[in-house]
Amino acid sequence: MKNIAIMCSGGDVSGMNPALKHFVEYTKSKNITPYFIYNGYEGLIDNHIEEATYKDVAGIITRGGTKIGSSRSKRFLEYEYRKVAKENLDNLGIDSLVVLGGDGSFRGLHQFYKDFGIKFCGIPSTIDNDINGTEYCLGVDTALNIIKVAIDSIRDTASSFKRAFVIETMGRDCGYLALITALTSGAEMCLIPEVEYNLADYEKKFKKEIEDGRTYFIAIVAEGIKQDSSEIAKWFEETIGMEARVNVLGHMQRGGNPSIYDRLMAYKFVNYAVDALLKNQNESVVCYTKKGFVYKNIDEVTKPYRLDTELIKSL
């Protein structure tokens, strides 16, 4: 009988709970004993590891976040703590891990494998969608839908009050969430870190649109751009001559009821991850590509992520 543990690391996403539920069901169907590592690498070091049961995952498919917690861990960067983590796994007879996380977490796993030979399969999970080699990371669809609802609601009040709204999305250094939601919500402006911009380029166009009857603007800006959102709002007030408000969407983008797509992707990612470990693949990450699901190595998924140039052209 084999033991496999699952954990979440880095920013939580909606879709982690459906993944945990399916992990328990799928491993049990394969006669594997599933374990949960609570609170990411921190729990791995602190021996917060328990056998997972059906009861643990009952009713969690509808919930955002992660029932087993997540963390960012400074201690895991140090060999002496990774050694403690390895001993904890040894005591339970666990030699394989499924990890829901981002490229930082995968770097950590790679180091752990190099140190002690603990096998792993990573599942890309970040609302930022900024992992190289995969078209899609778990949690992105739910985050996009939350942003969509927020923008649509803000549009209602923007149009009623003749205002410009600057809506800031998450994404750290990546403009994916801003770009996709701007495109699909009909925003008048979209500013992302990957594309240089000059506000002056918008001035003539926006003033002409106001002359032609436009009464409000929606500007979607990514958190990673060099300017603060309040500076963009000030520009609308002072240069365009329209009252402006800022909405920083913040952590609401990370939570919420997982979308159907994220639930389905969680299911598929978990199948591929467990199968990789059963096939004795030592270190891999399940990626979703135009050709479907494939396994990629750490070197590839930890390369810098680049936004699709076709999408950028649409700006």
Ligand X SMILES: O=P(O)(O)OC[C@H]1O[C@](O)(COP(=O)(O)O)[C@@H](O)[C@@H]1O
Please identify, using beta-carbon distances, which residue of 135 and 231 lies nearer to ligand ADP.
135
Residue number of the CB atom closest to ligand X: 11
Please identify, using beta-carbon distances, which residue of 177 and 277 lies nearer to ligand X.
177
Q: Is 255 in the site for ligand ADP (CB under 6 A)?
A: no
Task: Give yes or no: 299 in active site.
Answer: no
**CA-based nearest residue to 75, from 84, 67, 66, 87:** 84
Query: Per-residue x/- mask for ligand X, residues 95 to 134, rule CB under 6 A?
Result: -------x-----------------------xxx------
Sign of the alpha-carbon torsion through 72, 59, 126, 278: positive
Q: CA separation (Å) from 220 to 74, 144, 191, 228?
A: 33, 13, 7, 12
214 binds, among ligand X, ligand ADP, none (CB under 5 to 8 A by kind): none
Q: What DSSP character marks residue 39?
A: T
Q: Is 126 in the site for ligand ADP (CB under 6 A)?
A: yes
Stretch that binds ligand X, among 49-57, 154-162, 166-174, 301-309 (CB under 6 A): 166-174
- Selected from 4, 6, 8, 10, the binder of ligand ADP by CB under 6 A is 10
Tokens of 236: 């609308």
9 binds, among ligand ADP, ligand X, none (CB under 5 to 8 A by kind): ligand ADP
Strand order in the sheet with 189-191: 189-191, 217-222, 164-169, 244-248
Which listed residue (128, 130, 141, 262) is catalytic? 128
Amino acid letter, 41:
Y
Please identify, using beta-carbon distances, which residue of 127 and 218 lies nearer to ligand X.
127
- Is the CB of residue 190 less than 8 Å from the CB of residue 169? no
Amino acid letter, 79:
Y
Of residues 39-78, which lie at the interface with ligand ADP (CB under 6 A)?
41, 72-73, 76-77
- Selected from 101, 122, 171, 255, the binder of ligand ADP by CB under 6 A is 101
Q: Is 10 in the site for ligand X (CB under 6 A)?
A: yes
Q: What is the spatial distance between Cα 130 and Cα 137, in angstroms, rounded to a whole number? A: 8
Q: Is 194 in the site for ligand X (CB under 6 A)?
A: no
**CA-based nearest residue to 242, from 191, 189, 206:** 206
- Is the CB of residue 227 less than 8 Å from the CB of residue 192? no
Site of interaction with ligand X (CB under 6 A)? 10-11, 102, 126-128, 170-172, 223, 254
Residues serving a catalytic function are 128
